[in-house]
Amino acid sequence: MDKTWMKFPRNSKTYLDGLKMFLDFAFSKENTSVNGMILCPCKTCKNGICLPREDVEVHLRCLGFIRGYTQWIAQGETSNFTTPNSFFNEPSDGDNMQEMLNDAFGVPYDDVEIGENEADEIEEPNSKAKSFYKLVDDSQQELWPGCKKFSKLSFLVRLYHIKCLGKISNKAFTMLLELLNEAFPEGVKLPKSNYAARRVIEELGLGYKKYDACPNDCTLFWGKDKNSIQCETCSSTRWVVSDGDPTGEKRKVPHKVLWHFPLKGRLQRLFMSSKTASFMRWHAENRTKDGNMRHPADSPAWQCFDYRNPEFAKDPRNVRLGLASDGFNPFKNMNVSHSTWPVILIPYNLPPWMCMKQPYFMMSLLIPGPSAPGNNIDIYLQPLVEELKYMWDVGIDTYDASCKQNFKMRASLLWTISDFPGYANLSGWSTKGKLACPVCNKNTDSLWLKNCGKHCYMGNRRFLEKNHYFRNDLKSFNGNKETRDPPRRPTGSSILADLEGFEMKFGKLVSNNPNLPFNWKKKSILFDLPYWKDNLLPHNLDVMHITKNVCESIIGTRAV
């Protein structure tokens, strides 16, 4: 294919005709064009963002192609070389398992013969990584010799999908697998039970755990309470009761169920692909460090955290996470009162054009309705907080496919992202009433409006410079000059001192004194994270030096 037109000026007819030819070629490829979009090869996007045809054309006319990008592999052009057993082999009809695994995890590990000089640098994958690479092999093996329709893995996934959609019981699914193993030709090895099939599915990162919960959001039957049949706080039964079954133990139908999607395996898989593994070090190796803020790694909060935790910051592969949570009505009908709360984690090691994209969002918890958990959300956050503690104190053995090395991966939660009501539920500081501002804290300047029955907050001029003309503007504000300094922002030690002496149980006050100081409603379970206790309590803005405007410019919402 003639590509000499790429060297012509971008406003020339030759370049524009060649650009049209390129767009026709790229959008004609079904394996690269998804929902009418392709990867944009301009100098800014660098094949990292999918855009529609009109946007790609504008980018390539204004910015031009990536320098030296003359073989359009990302847009479907065949490579000049072929690799045996390549992961990019075209899948058979009806079998898209290789495509699914490639999209999720990238290129698989190829066995490398370790020489004498390379033995110190290249290591064998650990057991977790090997089990994943076995899935890749299964996705390339025919279900039986001559079967072009399914691979072993794709057939099992389709079968398990039918089980979920048809609500087939575990016992019936085990009986179906036993029948299929008898009926299929010799050499076909499917799992023999529902348990064995589920183990395979979990290796794909599709596993989950379910925990029963109290209907009043008092107790999660997990950990030391996993065998309890009654809530200690409100005495409600764990299961739905019926006539002849006063405790519900016969049918065991729970009132509420928390869905927990373990985090450790999904973070490990980010390093099992050589492509995503290198992106997980982007914040340290490829980020532009010119003092401008383009990524959370440029913020003083990130840098302060690294300064206070040098052992954690030593390895750039350690993961920094953000947490976002909010409720929604899944029924799309506001006449039905229901609020389900997902808890999403975002890995901020990735470049900005990846970390906020849907494929890299990790749903950790799905908190059931029909009502919002409110301040009782701490009850449901217990499994996640336990995971975060373990990944900070101990870490998990992980294989880095880009370096072909095993390492101990650790993770920390740096931010929470939420709207103002969600912020109140996570932090424990009420964002309503006289002391609504979490930044001003107990020094919030508010005024009660009798006719409206609301609080009005007029102390914002305190944050302006001393010579700002707004400070002397009487008519536009409350009729008074503003000469005060900004209120002193709370520190982590002052917050802990305010809550000292109050006995808490997962955010609920259990001491004899029912009144917490100021606007506190609880002590958040996130305060139990060791690095938040010492460094990054949500209101410790003196340490983090992050302002609301800076946070909104990074991620579009409030960061704690």
Same-domain check for residues 292 and 409? yes
pLDDT of residue 124: 67
Among the candidates 486, 513, 533, a domain finishes at 486
Q: What would the DSSP string read from start to end of 421-482?
A: HHHHHHH-B--SSTT--TTTGGG---EEETTTTEEE--GGGGGS-TT-GGGG--TTTTSS--
Rg, C-alpha atoms of the chain: 28
Contacts for 265 with CB less than 8 Å, ≥ 6 apart? 128, 202, 205, 207
Mean pLDDT over the full length of the chain? 78
**Measured between alpha carbons, how far is 33 from 39 in angstroms, rounded to an integer?**
8
- Examine the domain organization and report whether 193 and 146 are in the same domain: yes
Give the pairing of strands 454-456 and 411-418: unpaired
Same domain, 133 and 185: yes
What is the pLDDT confidence band of residue 512, given thresholds at 50, 70 and 90?
Answer: low
Section 273-297 average pLDDT: 86
Q: Are 356 and 388 in contact (CB under 8 A)?
A: no
Pair (271, 388) in one structural domain:
yes
Confidence of residue 532 (pLDDT cuts 50, 70, 90): confident
pLDDT tens track for 413-431: 988 888 888 999 898 888 8
Comparing 437 with 494, the larger pLDDT belongs to 437
371, 401, 419 - which closes a domain: 419
pLDDT tens for residues 129-161? 666 666 666 656 777 777 777 777 778 888 888
CB 342 within 8 A of CB 366: yes
* The pLDDT of residue 87: 31
Mean pLDDT computed over 542-559: 33
Calculate what percentage of the chain has a pLDDT beyond 70: 79
Bridge partner list, 42:
65
234 assigned to some structural domain: no
Query: Do 141 and 28 belong together in one domain?
Result: no
pLDDT at 257 over 90: yes
- Exposed, middle or buried by CB within 10 Å (0-12, 13-18, 19+), for 42? buried
Higher pLDDT, 137 or 181: 181
Quick check: is 269 in a domain?
A: yes
Please state, in angstroms and rounded to a whole number, the distance separating the CA atoms of residues 160 and 471: 67
Tell whether 478 is covered by a domain.
Answer: yes
Which range, of 129-133, 181-185, 452-456, averages the lowest pLDDT?
Answer: 129-133
What pLDDT, in 10s, does the model give residues 72-90?
A: 877 777 644 333 333 333 3
pLDDT-derived band of residue 128, with 50, 70 and 90 as boundaries? low
Mark whether 288 and 380 lie in a shared domain. Answer: yes
317, β-bridge pairs: none
Of 434, 461, 486, the residue at which a domain comes to its end is 486
CB 74 within 8 A of CB 32: yes
Considering the domain architecture, whether residues 387 and 291 belong to the same structural domain is answered as yes
Q: What is the pLDDT of residues 458-475, one digit of tens each?
A: 888 888 998 899 999 888
Given a contact cutoff of 8 angstroms between Cβ atoms, the answer to whether 405 and 416 are in contact is: no
pLDDT at residue 122 greater than cutoff 90:
no
**Is 48 found in the same domain as 10?**
yes
> Percent of the chain having pLDDT more than 90?
16
What's the rounded Cα separation, in Å, for the pair 1 and 20?
Answer: 14
Q: Is 523 part of any domain? A: no
**Residue 510 forms part of a structural domain:** no
pLDDT at 309 over 70: yes
Q: Is 267 helix (H, G, I), strand (E, B) or coil?
A: helix
In a domain, 383, yes or no: yes
Confidence of residue 334 (pLDDT cuts 50, 70, 90): low
Does a structural domain hold residue 51?
A: yes
Containing H/E element for 133?
helix 127-140
Is residue 261 predicted with pLDDT exceeding 80?
yes
Residues 355 and 459 in one domain: no
106 and 47, same structural domain? no
Q: Which domain holds residue 163?
A: 97-110+124-206
Looking at the structure of the chain, the number of domains it has is: 4
**Mean pLDDT in residue range 259-278:** 86
In a domain, 514, yes or no: no
Query: Is the domain of 269 the same as that of 350?
Result: yes
Tokens linked to 453: 């029955």
Q: What's the predicted TM-score (pTM) here?
A: 0.70
Per-residue model confidence as pLDDT tens digits over 206-244:
678 999 999 988 889 998 888 888 888 888 889 888 888
* pLDDT at residue 542 greater than cutoff 50: no
Instruction: Note whether 415 and 427 are within 8 A (CB).
Output: no
**Same domain for 146 and 27?**
no
pLDDT at 316 over 60: yes
CA 232 to CA 505: how far, in whole Å?
Answer: 12
Closest CA to 268 of 416, 104, 381: 104
Of 102-116, 139-153, 502-516, which one has max mean pLDDT?
139-153
Residues in Cβ contact with 293 at an 8 Å cutoff, skipping those fewer than 6 apart = 299, 550, 553, 554
Task: Give the pLDDT confidence score for residue 348 in this predicted structure.
Answer: 93
Q: Which phi-psi region, left, alpha or beta, contains residue 211 (left: φ > 0; alpha: ψ -120 to 50)?
A: beta
In the prediction, which pLDDT does 377 show? Answer: 92
